C-alpha cells in the first residue's frame, strides 16, 4: 500500500513538473496578447515588443514574463515618436494572473527594467506627449475601464542603465537624467506604506540656451511615505548628494485632481566651506578631502505652494559664505577673503517673477582681487541683467591656487572695470540700442594654448572700451607662430555673441609685418590605431585652414609679407569680408616676382571641400620666377619656364581647394589671357624646342621674334585649350594651336609657309637657273605635329604635299619658259628671213641653234648631262622627258635638304610619293 501511495505521489509530482514545463509554451502567445491588449486599449499609444517569454520554474510559485525590445509609440499630435523604449522588461505575477480574460486587470508583484529611455516632450503649443490617456469617456465607460489594465501589487522594482529626458519647447527648458540606476522596495498594494529607494544618476539642466547643470552626479537615498487614499508622498528620511555636496530633505508632495501641493525644504548637513567646492563638478574641483578651508558655506532652501498650469511653488534658495578661504595641499597659493551672498527667489509662484540677487561675490589670490555684484530679474521670462564687475588679476596665479584643466595654460594680467544693463528680449531681437555697457578692460602678456591651435596665441597688449552701444577695440597686439598682428576696430554685438549665439559683427583694421597662413591651420586626430607598430598610435589628418565660423566682419588688411604655401607675397593690401565661413576679397594687391598682382574673388571653407572663385590681374611679373614657383602656371603653359622677360596676364578661375587652401588642379576651370614681353629664352632647357630644331633646321629658334606675344587659354577638367596665335621668325609666320593636359601630354600643330630662299643653296641654285620673277615669293607649306610629353616630345613633319606642290610649280614655270624661248627664237628667225638676213653661219654650231639653246638651259638646271653629238638630232627622242628630269632634280635637292639625306640616296618609295 505504501509503495502504491509513493508511486501515486511520484506520478503527481511528474505531472506538476510536466505542467510547469509545458505551460509556458501554451500560454506565451496568450500572455503577450493580454499585455498588448490591456495597454493598447487603455492608452492613446501603441505598445509593441519583439518577444514575450514565460517562466513558471524560475520564480515558482509566481510566474515571470520577460518582454524584449519594447516600444511605446505616440499617436497624433506626436505621431510615430517614441515615448518609451527598453531592451528588457521583466514582470513577476501570481500564476492565476495568467488565466484572466483580456478585459480583466493583471496584478504585478515586481518589475525589472533594463536599458530604458523615457522621452518626454512638450511642443510649442504646450501639448505633452506623455498625455496618452484615452479620449473623454462617459462615467460608465470609466468604471468599466477600472477593471482593465494593470493593478500594482508590487513589493519591489528596479531600473538600471536607463535615462529620462524632458524637453519643453514652449519654455526652452530641458532636463535629463542619464545613467540612471534606481530601485525601490515596499508593499504598494497597501493603502499606506513606506517605499525605500536608492537612486544614482547624472543630471543635466538647461534653460534658454544657458547650461546650469552638465552631467552633475546625484545620489539620493530616500524613504518615502505613501498614502494612496490621499495621494500624498512624504519624505521621511532622506539624504542627497549633488556633485559632492550632501543635502537633507524634508516635506511632502500631494497630488490633487487639479494641481499638486508642494512643501519641501533642504539644507546642507554642515556649514564648512568645503561644501562650496563640493558644488563644483569633480573633474574641475578634483579631490577635496584634503583641502584646507576656513570660514563657512551654507546652502538652504524651501519650496512651498501649488503646481498647476499657471503657478510654480514659491521658493527661496540662499547661498552664503563669510570671509572664507581654501588651499589645495599640492598647490602653492591659497584663495582667501571669499565672500558669497546670493539669493534665488520667487515670491509669487509666477514663473517670470523669479530673480537672482548677487549682493556680493569676491575673492583674492595674493593681492589680486575680483569683485562682482548683480541683479537678474525675470529669470524665467525676459531676463533683465544689471551687473558690475571689477578686478585686477594675474591669470597665472589661478592655476597656482586652483586645479584648472591641464590643457588650460593661462598667462597675463587682466584689468577690468565694467558695468552693464540689458534685457534678453532686446539682445535676441538685436536691438542693442536698448542695452548699455560701459567701462574698460585690458589684457597684457596673455598667452593661450589649445589642442586646436598649432601655436600658442600671445597677446602683448589688448585694450577694450565698452560704450553704450558698441565695444571699441583700441589695441590687439599679438603673435602666433611666425605671424604678428595688430588690430583695431569696433564690435557691434558683443552681447549677442555672448548670450545669443550670434557671430561677432564688426569692422577692423588689421596690420602685420609677417602673416603666415599656415599658423592658422588646425589638425584633427582620428581614433584609428596603427596595427603594424608595437604600440598603439593614433593617426592625424592633414592640417586644415578654416575661416572662423563665428566671424561676420569687415577687415581692411595690410601686411608687409604674407607667406602662402611656398610663396612670399610683399606689400599685401585690400579688403576682406568674412561671413558664413566665406572670405570675399576686394581690391587686393601685392608685389610678387618683381611685378604686381591684383586679385578679387571669394574663398569658402563651409563645406567639407573648400572652394574658390577668383580674378587675377598680373602686371610685369618675371616670367621665369612665376612659372617655376606657381604650380598653376606650370600646368597651364609649361613651355614658358624657359622664357626670360616679363608677363602681363588676366586670369579667371574657379575650383576646389586642398586643406591648406592651395588650388586642386584637377578641379580647375577658367580662362587666361597672357601678354609676354621677352626677347630671350633658353632653348637648351627645353626638350620640346630641341626636338623642333632637329626637325626644322632651316629655323634658328634663337632668332624667334616674341615681341608682343599674346595668347589666350581656356582650361577645364585638367585640359588646356590654346586659342590660335602666331610667332614670327624673320618673314615666316608660324601659326600655333592645340592643347595639352595638366599632366603635360601635348597635342599641338605648328603651321608655316617657308620661303624657298630658306631651303638651302641647292634649291636656290635651281631657282637661279630657272631665273623667273615668279619664283621670288615661292614658299613651301610645312606642318609640325607635336605630341608626347613635354619632357619627352614627339615632333613629326609632313613634307610630302609641300614637295609635290613645289616640284609641280617649278616644272610648270620651266616648261612655260622653254615654250616662250622657242617662240622668241622662231620670231627671231622669221624676222631674219623676212628681213633678208644673209649672214654667214658659224660652221662650229649645230644645225638647229634653237634646240641647242633649250638643251643648254635644261642641262644647266638639271645637272647638265652631255648628249652624244653623233646621234641623230632631229629624229631622236630623249629617254626621259624634260618634266621627268626636272622632277628628279627637284626631288633630289629638296629631299636632301628637308630629310637630311644625300641627293642620290632617295628610296624608291619616296620617288613614287613625289611622282
Give the rounded distance of the alpha carbon of 472 from its chain centre.
Answer: 32
C-alpha span between 694 and 715 (Å, rounded): 30
| Lowest pLDDT segment from 101-115, 545-559, 721-735, 865-879 | 865-879
- Three-class SS state of 601: strand
Closest CA to 407 of 294, 227, 283: 283
C-alpha span between 568 and 594 (Å, rounded): 11
C-alpha span between 3 and 278 (Å, rounded): 74
Closest CA to 588 of 607, 569, 606, 605: 569
pLDDT score at 856: 43
Instruction: Answer with the residue of higher pLDDT: 416 or 823.
Output: 416
* 505: Cα within 13 Å, side-chain hemisphere: 12
C-alpha span between 778 and 280 (Å, rounded): 99
C-alpha span between 252 and 114 (Å, rounded): 29
Residue 20 has pLDDT above 90, yes or no: no
Other Cβ atoms less than 10 A from the Cβ of 609: the count is 12
Closest CA to 633 of 720, 736, 517: 720
8 Å CB contact between 600 and 574: no
What are the beta bridge partners of residue 196? Answer: 185, 223
Give the contacts of 660 (CB within 8 A, at least 6 positions apart). 517, 518, 521, 542, 543, 544, 545, 565
8 Å CB contact between 636 and 623: no
pLDDT band at 510 (very low <50, low <70, confident <90, very high): very high
pLDDT per residue as tens digits for the range 611-626: 999 998 988 888 777 8
DSSP-derived letter for residue 353 is: G
8 Å CB contact between 738 and 745: no
pLDDT per residue as tens digits for the range 45-62: 888 888 877 776 555 567
What proportion of the chain, given as a percentage, has pLDDT over 70? 72
**pTM for the model:** 0.60
**Every domain of the chain and the residues it spans:** 19-171, 288-406, 805-834+847-867+878-915
8 Å CB contact between 687 and 791: yes
DSSP-derived letter for residue 666 is: G
C-alpha span between 233 and 497 (Å, rounded): 45
Instruction: Give the cell for residue 150.
Output: 494593470
pLDDT per residue as tens digits for the range 493-507: 888 887 777 888 899
Q: Is the omega angle on the peptide bond into residue 664 within 30 degrees of 0, that is, cis?
A: no
pLDDT band at 12 (very low <50, low <70, confident <90, very high): very low
Residue 840 has pLDDT above 50, yes or no: no
C-alpha span between 577 and 276 (Å, rounded): 47
pLDDT band at 816 (very low <50, low <70, confident <90, very high): confident
Strand duo 551-564 + 504-516: pairing:
parallel
Residue 192 has pLDDT above 80, yes or no: yes
Residue 465 has pLDDT above 70, yes or no: yes
DSSP string over 842-879: PTTS-S-HHHHHHHHHHHHHHT-PPP-TTS-TTT---S
pLDDT score at 61: 64
Give the rounded distance of the alpha carbon of 780 from its chain centre.
Answer: 59
- Element (DSSP H or E) covering residue 513: strand 504-516
8 Å CB contact between 914 and 899: no
8 Å CB contact between 623 and 706: no
Residue 725 has pLDDT above 90, yes or no: no
Give the contacts of 325 (CB within 8 A, at least 6 positions apart). 273, 293, 294, 295, 334, 335, 336, 337, 338
Residue 38 has pLDDT above 90, yes or no: no
Maximum mean pLDDT: which of 208-212, 477-481, 540-544, 660-664: 477-481
The runs of H, that is alpha helices, within 190-341 are 274-279, 282-285
DSSP-derived letter for residue 362 is: E
Residue 850 has pLDDT above 50, yes or no: no
Q: Where are the beta strands (DSSP E) in 521-594?
A: 521-522, 525-529, 538-540, 544-545, 551-564, 567-579, 582-592
pLDDT per residue as tens digits for the range 125-153: 888 888 887 554 444 444 444 444 555 56
DSSP string over 48-91: E-SEEEEESSTTTTEEEEEEEEEEEEE-TTSTT-EEEEEEEEEE
- Element (DSSP H or E) covering residue 476: strand 471-480
8 Å CB contact between 174 and 206: yes
What are the beta bridge partners of residue 54? Answer: 65
8 Å CB contact between 829 and 848: no
> Hey, CA dihedral for 900, 903, 905, 909, is it positive or negative?
positive
pLDDT band at 821 (very low <50, low <70, confident <90, very high): low
- Element (DSSP H or E) covering residue 121: strand 117-122
8 Å CB contact between 725 and 674: no
| Phi, psi for residue 427 in degrees, rounded to 5 | -65, -45
Mean pLDDT value across residues 364-374 = 94
Strand duo 335-346 + 483-491: pairing:
unpaired
Mean pLDDT value across residues 656-672 = 85
pLDDT band at 333 (very low <50, low <70, confident <90, very high): very high
* 765: Cα within 13 Å, side-chain hemisphere: 11
Give the contacts of 753 (CB within 8 A, at least 6 positions apart). 732, 733, 779, 780, 781, 782
Closest CA to 81 of 135, 49, 118: 118
pLDDT per residue as tens digits for the range 65-77: 888 999 989 888 8
pLDDT score at 882: 52
Instruction: Answer with the residue of higher pLDDT: 861 or 237.
Output: 237
Mean pLDDT value across residues 173-192 = 87
Residue 869 has pLDDT above 60, yes or no: no
C-alpha span between 507 and 470 (Å, rounded): 11
8 Å CB contact between 676 and 642: no
C-alpha span between 30 and 53 (Å, rounded): 11
What proportion of the chain, given as a percentage, has pLDDT over 90? 25
8 Å CB contact between 253 and 261: yes
User: What is the rounded (10 degree) CA torsion for 634, 636, 637, 638?
Assistant: 30
pLDDT per residue as tens digits for the range 516-541: 888 876 644 444 444 444 444 444 44
- Element (DSSP H or E) covering residue 910: helix 908-914
Q: Which residue has the cell 572664507?
A: 324
Residue 552 has pLDDT above 50, yes or no: yes
DSSP-derived letter for residue 1 is: -
C-alpha span between 280 and 318 (Å, rounded): 17
Give the rounded distance of the alpha carbon of 815 from its chain centre.
Answer: 79
C-alpha span between 576 and 654 (Å, rounded): 18
Q: Residue 632: is it exposed, middle or buried by C-beta count within 10 angstroms (0-12/13-18/19+)? A: buried
Instruction: Give the cell for residue 707.
Output: 615681341
pLDDT band at 554 (very low <50, low <70, confident <90, very high): very high
In 726-746, which positions are buried (b, 16+ CB within 10 angstroms) versus exposed (e)?
ebebeebebebebbbebeeeb
Instruction: Give the cell for residue 547.
Output: 575661416
pLDDT band at 861 (very low <50, low <70, confident <90, very high): very low
Distance in angstroms between the alpha carbons of the first and the last residue of the chain: 137
pLDDT band at 94 (very low <50, low <70, confident <90, very high): low
Alpha-carbon distances of 283 from 10, 333, 403, 504, rounded to whole Å: 65, 20, 9, 31
What are the beta bridge partners of residue 511? Answer: 486, 558
- Three-class SS state of 884: helix
| Phi, psi for residue 314 in degrees, rounded to 5 | -70, 145
Closest CA to 700 of 746, 737, 732, 678: 732
Mean pLDDT value across residues 310-318 = 92
Give the contacts of 579 (CB within 8 A, at least 6 positions apart). 503, 551, 552, 553
> Hey, CA dihedral for 74, 80, 83, 85, is it positive or negative?
positive
pLDDT score at 883: 53
pLDDT band at 557 (very low <50, low <70, confident <90, very high): very high
Q: Which residue has the cell 577638367?
A: 717
Residue 486 has pLDDT above 80, yes or no: yes
Amino acid at each position: 500500500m505504501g509503495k502504491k501511495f509513493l508511486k501515486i505521489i511520484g506520478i503527481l509530482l511528474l505531472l506538476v513538473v510536466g505542467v510547469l514545463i509545458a505551460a509556458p509554451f501554451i500560454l506565451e502567445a496568450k500572455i503577450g496578447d493580454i499585455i498588448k491588449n490591456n495597454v493598447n486599449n487603455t492608452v492613446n499609444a501603441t505598445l509593441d515588443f519583439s518577444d514575450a517569454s514565460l517562466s513558471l520554474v524560475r520564480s515558482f510559485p509566481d510566474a515571470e514574463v520577460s518582454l524584449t525590445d519594447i516600444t511605446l509609440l505616440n499617436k497624433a499630435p506626436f505621431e510615430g515618436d517614441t515615448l518609451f523604449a527598453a531592451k528588457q522588461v521583466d514582470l513577476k505575477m501570481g500564476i492565476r494572473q495568467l488565466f484572466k480574460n483580456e478585459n480583466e486587470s493583471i496584478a504585478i508583484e515586481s518589475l525589472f527594467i533594463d536599458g530604458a529611455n523615457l522621452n518626454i516632450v512638450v511642443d510649442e503649443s504646450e501639448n505633452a506627449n506623455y498625455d496618452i490617456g484615452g479620449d473623454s469617456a462617459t462615467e460608465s465607460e470609466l468604471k468599466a475601464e477600472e477593471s482593465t489594465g494593470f493593478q500594482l501589487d508590487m513589493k519591489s522594482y528596479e531600473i538600471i542603465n536607463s535615462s529620462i529626458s524632458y524637453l519643453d519647447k514652449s519654455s526652452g527648458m530641458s532636463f535629463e537624467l542619464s545613467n540612471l540606476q534606481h530601485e525601490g522596495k515596499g508593499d504598494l498594494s497597501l493603502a499606506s506604506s513606506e517605499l525605500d529607494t536608492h537612486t544614482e544618476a547624472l543630471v543635466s539642466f538647461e534653460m534658454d540656451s544657458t547650461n546650469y547643470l552638465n552631467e552633475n552626479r546625484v545620489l539620493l537615498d530616500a524613504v518615502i511615505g505613501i498614502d494612496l487614499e490621499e495621494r500624498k508622498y512624504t519624505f521621511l528620511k532622506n539624504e542627497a548628494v549633488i556633485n559632492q555636496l550632501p543635502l537633507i530633505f524634508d516635506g511632502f508632495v500631494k497630488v490633487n485632481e487639479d494641481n499638486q501641493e508642494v512643501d519641501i525644504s533642504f539644507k546642507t548637513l554642515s556649514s564648512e566651506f568645503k561644501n562650496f567646492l563640493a558644488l563644483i563638478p569633480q573633474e574641475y574641483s578634483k579631490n577635496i578631502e584634503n583641502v584646507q578651508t576656513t570660514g563657512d558655506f551654507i546652502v538652504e532652501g524651501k519650496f512651498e505652494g501649488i503646481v498647476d498650469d499657471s503657478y510654480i511653488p514659491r521658493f527661496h534658495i540662499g547661498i552664503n559664505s563669510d570671509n572664507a578661504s581654501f588651499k589645495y595641499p599640492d598647490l602653492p597659493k591659497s584663495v582667501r577673503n571669499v565672500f558669497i551672498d546670493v539669493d534665488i527667489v520667487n515670491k509669487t509662484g509666477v514663473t517670470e517673477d523669479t530673480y537672482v540677487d548677487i549682493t556680493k561675490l569676491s575673492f583674492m589670490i595674493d593681492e589680486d582681487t575680483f569683485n562682482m555684484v548683480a541683479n537678474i530679474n525675470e529669470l524665467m521670462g525676459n531676463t533683465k541683467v544689471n551687473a558690475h564687475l571689477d578686478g585686477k588679476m594675474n591669470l597665472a596665479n589661478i592655476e597656482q591656487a586652483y586645479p584648472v584643466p591641464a590643457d588650460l595654460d593661462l598667462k597675463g594680467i587682466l584689468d577690468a572695470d565694467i558695468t552693464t544693463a540689458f534685457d534678453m528680449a532686446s539682445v535676441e531681437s538685436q536691438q542693442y540700442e536698448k542695452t548699455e555697457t560701459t567701462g574698460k578692460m585690458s589684457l597684457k602678456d596673455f598667452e593661450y594654448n589649445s589642442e586646436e591651435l598649432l601655436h600658442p596665441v600671445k597677446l602683448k597688449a589688448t585694450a577694450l572700451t565698452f560704450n553704450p552701444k558698441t565695444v571699441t577695440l583700441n589695441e590687439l597686439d599679438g603673435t602666433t607662430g611666425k605671424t604678428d598682428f595688430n588690430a583695431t576696430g569696433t564690435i557691434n554685438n558683443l552681447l549677442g555673441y555672448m548670450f545669443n549665439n550670434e557671430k561677432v559683427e564688426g569692422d577692423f583694421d588689421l596690420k602685420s609685418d609677417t602673416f603666415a597662413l599656415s599658423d592658422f591651420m588646425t589638425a584633427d586626430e582620428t581614433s584609428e590605431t596603427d596595427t603594424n607598430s608595437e604600440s598603439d598610435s593614433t593617426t592625424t589628418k592633414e592640417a586644415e585652414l578654416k575661416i572662423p565660423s563665428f566671424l561676420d566682419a569687415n577687415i581692411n588688411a595690410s601686411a608687409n609679407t604674407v607667406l602662402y604655401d611656398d610663396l612670399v607675397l610683399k606689400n599685401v593690401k585690400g579688403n576682406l569680408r568674412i561671413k558664413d565661413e566665406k572670405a570675399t576679397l576686394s581690391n587686393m594687391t601685392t608685389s610678387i616676382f618683381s611685378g604686381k598682382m591684383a586679385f578679387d574673388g571669394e574663398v569658402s571653407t563651409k563645406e567639407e571641400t573648400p572652394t574658390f572663385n577668383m580674378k587675377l590681374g598680373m602686371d610685369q611679373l618675371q616670367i621665369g620666377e612665376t612659372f617655376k614657383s606657381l604650380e598653376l602656371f606650370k600646368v597651364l603653359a609649361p613651355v614658358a619656364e624657359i622664357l626670360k622677360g616679363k608677363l602681363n596676364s588676366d586670369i579667371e578661375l574657379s575650383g576646389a581647394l586642398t586643406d591648406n587652401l592651395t588650388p586642386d588642379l584637377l578641379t580647375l576651370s577658367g580662362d587666361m589671357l597672357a601678354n609676354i614681353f621677352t626677347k630671350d629664352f633658353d632653348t637648351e632647357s627645353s626638350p620640346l624646342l630641341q626636338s623642333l630644331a632637329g626637325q626644322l633646321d632651316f629655323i634658328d629658334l634663337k632668332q624667334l621674334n616674341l615681341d608682343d606675344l599674346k595668347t589666350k587659354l581656356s582650361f577645364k577638367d585638367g585640359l588646356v585649350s590654346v586659342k590660335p596665335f602666331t610667332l614670327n621668325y624673320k618673314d615666316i609666320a608660324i601659326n600655333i594651336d592645340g592643347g595639352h593636359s595638366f599632366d603635360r601630354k601635348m597635342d599641338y600643330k605648328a603651321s608655316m609657309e617657308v620661303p624657298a630662299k630658306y631651303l638651302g643653296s641647292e634649291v636656290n641654285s635651281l631657282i637661279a637657273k630657272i631665273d623667273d620673277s615668279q619664283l621670288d615669293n615661292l614658299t613651301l607649306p610645312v606642318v609640325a605635329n607635336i605630341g608626347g610629353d613635354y619632357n619627352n616630345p614627339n615632333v613629326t613633319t609632313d613634307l610630302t604635299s609641300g614637295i609635290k606642290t613645289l616640284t609641280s610649280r617649278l616644272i610648270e614655270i620651266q616648261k612655260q619658259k622653254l615654250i616662250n624661248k622657242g617662240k622668241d627664237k622662231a620670231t627671231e628667225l622669221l624676222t631674219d628671213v623676212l628681213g633678208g638676213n644673209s649672214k654667214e653661219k658659224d660652221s662650229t654650231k649645230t644645225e638647229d641653234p634653237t634646240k641647242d639653246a633649250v638643251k643648254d638651259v635644261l642641262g644647266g638646271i638639271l645637272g647638265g648631262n652631255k648628249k652624244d653629238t653623233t646621234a641623230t638630232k632631229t629624229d631622236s627622242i630623249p629617254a626621259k622627258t624634260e618634266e621627268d628630269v626636272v622632277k628628279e632634280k627637284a626631288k633630289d635637292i629638296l629631299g636632301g635638304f628637308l630629310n637630311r639625306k644625300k641627293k642620290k640616296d632617295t628610296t624608291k618609295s619616296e620617288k613614287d610619293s613625289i611622282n
